[in-house]
Amino acid sequence: MRSISAAAAALLLLCSSSATAQEFVNQKRFPSHPNHKSARELIEEKYARHEEILTGMIEQRQAELADHESGRKLLSEDEVNHRVNHIGSLQRKLVGHQAKDPKTLQLEIEEEIKLYEKMMYGEEFQWTSEGMILKEP
């Protein structure tokens, strides 16, 4: 009986608040918090990892083809062609990334930081209980 009355009191306290869940508007997803990275840190890390990620994907596709050729894991002809084409595409991306001028790369990073902050801090988007939505013009 005592636990029921305690639960009822807690429910009454929650229901008496002036804002309902439907009226609650989320604040920015990454509030200023010491454990959260800034937009600049996130994007610079992403660009720093890009070459590593592409290299890993190429190695993974090459290992899949090697497994196919050795008979360990057979792939269909379409899957083999897809992986061969994918390796070529990834290698072109990697060469393009490595050939970028540092100034151009820095401009890309700065532009992405601007767009990220514009998205996160509400100039065009609004955080709601359903997620991020585009504001009405």
Interstrand relation of 131-134 and 125-128 (parallel, antiparallel or unpaired): antiparallel
Q: What is the mean pLDDT of the chain?
A: 79
Given this model, what pLDDT does residue 118 score? 79
Given this model, what pLDDT does residue 104 score? 93
What would the mean pLDDT of 108-112 be, rounded to a whole number? 93
**Of 69 and 27, the one with more pLDDT:** 69
> What's the whole-model pTM score?
0.59
What would the mean pLDDT of 21-36 be, rounded to a whole number? 51
Given this model, what pLDDT does residue 23 score? 46
Give how far the C-alpha of residue 2 lies from the chain's centroid of Cα atoms, to the nearest Å: 47
Give how far the C-alpha of residue 5 lies from the chain's centroid of Cα atoms, to the nearest Å: 45
Tell me the C-alpha distance between 131 and 114, whole Å: 21
Given this model, what pLDDT does residue 57 score? 96
Q: What number of other Cβ atoms are within 10 A of residue 41's Cβ?
A: 11
Give how far the C-alpha of residue 29 lies from the chain's centroid of Cα atoms, to the nearest Å: 13
Q: Which residues pair with 47 in a beta bridge?
A: none
Kindly report which listed range (18-22, 49-53, 102-106) carries the lowest average pLDDT score: 18-22
